[in-house]
Amino acid sequence: MQFLAFVLALFGVIMLLKPTKPCINLVKSPTLTESKPLFSALSLPPPPVKSVHSASLTALDGHTMLAAYFGGSKEAQSDVNIWGNFYTDKEKQWSKAFKLLSAYDLSQQAQEFVKILGNPVLLTHRNRLYLFVVGASLGGWATSKIYVLSAPLSNPKALHYAQTLHLSPFLNISHLVRNAPTSTTDGGFILPIYHELANKSPVFLKFDKEAHLQFLVKTNYLKQQLQPSLVPYKNCAFAVFRSYKTTHFYTQSCLNFWHWQKPALSNLNNYDSANALFNANGVLYLIYNQALPNNPSARSALRLARFDAKSGAFVPLKILDTSLRGEVSYPSVLIFHNQIHVLYTKERKVIAHLVLNLSYLKSL
């Protein structure tokens, strides 16, 4: 009996020491109201460089948006900087481009050598602006890390190094970011990232309300999955993963954030291209790439599809833009002032901007 009591007591101690998994709930997407159907196309005034790519978008306040992207002679070159443009809903046009960050600036502030920059991701959180950016030293993106910079919303150009995300006990390299964070009901947020070395897998990073990293969540063990896009959906979330192993991408939904359904292969053709999900009043939409019939480039057409919850398939709706000379790729979405704003790369020359609304989506 004494031995049994000892075992039960030991089990009780173990259970007390065992960490409990906190409840994670995503903040629901903004509710859209119907108005006159809207679809307009703009472009951001480009910086004085040959190539721009991979835009991100955030609302600084109720009237202003900020876009960020990388630009230079070409991707993965030491002359690449992070550039920005402002947009106000009053003027409904973009400002001239300005430099937000250089590799030299980041090297000086982080006190470590950074040779190249890429894939900026913006976040407005608790009256501060955050920039998550990929930086690499030697060996290209295989040696990349995710750096975090921050600035007061009153002066968003004053970004300053805050931290380097430590995501591995070993080399802590080859982690990249691409898609926007999603807010959680506890005041924090989830940042979707991916590990590019070896197996290549998506990871979700949970931050608290002070923007401190709490833990990592890995939802599957598929290989060759990159650039996860995450949105709130029903009682949990829905995610899309880019794949260069297959000609389709994968989707995955959850019962709660600790229990995910098995990944499902999408019905849409999409080879090795970035995607962007958004939730419009409970309906999921996806912006993705699929080649034109007369163009072998996988990124020659940017398309819009709606997710059908009953069949689990995406229904193609519209080609948003095309290019016969280059690519229309890397979409980023922000719901702002009852409108859906989409940024994407246009032939690596400019960042294009589409504005649409709920009534337009319903008309398709």
Q: Give domain status of residue 97, yes or no.
A: yes
Q: Give domain status of residue 193, yes or no.
A: yes
Quickly list DSSP for 87-113. Answer: EETTTTEEPPPEEEEEHHHHHHHHTS-
Buried b (16+ CB within 10 A) or exposed e, 52-66: bbbbbbbbbeeebbb
- Three-state DSSP class for residue 2: helix
Confidence bin at 143 (pLDDT 50/70/90) = confident
Q: Give domain status of residue 90, yes or no.
A: yes
Residue 359 has pLDDT above 50, yes or no: yes
Q: Give domain status of residue 15, yes or no.
A: no
| Number of folded domains that form the chain | 1
CA 121 to chain centre: 7
Q: Give domain status of residue 88, yes or no.
A: yes
Q: Give domain status of residue 5, yes or no.
A: no
| Residue partners of 107: CB distance under 8 A and separation at least 6 | 113, 114
* Integer Cα distance of 149 and 151 in angstroms: 7
Q: Give domain status of residue 18, yes or no.
A: no
Q: Give domain status of residue 12, yes or no.
A: no
The pLDDT tens digits of the residues spanning 160-189 come to 999 999 998 777 889 999 999 999 999 999
User: Would you say the pTM of this structure is higher than 0.75?
Assistant: yes
**What is the chain's mean pLDDT, rounded?**
92
The pLDDT tens digits of the residues spanning 319-336 come to 999 998 899 999 999 999
The pLDDT tens digits of the residues spanning 194-248 come to 988 777 889 999 999 999 999 999 999 888 889 999 999 999 999 999 987 788 8
Who wins on pLDDT, 346 or 9?
Answer: 346
Quote the pLDDT of residue 198.
Answer: 74
Q: What is the CATH number of the domain that holds 171?
A: 2.120.10.10
Residue 183: domain span: 36-363
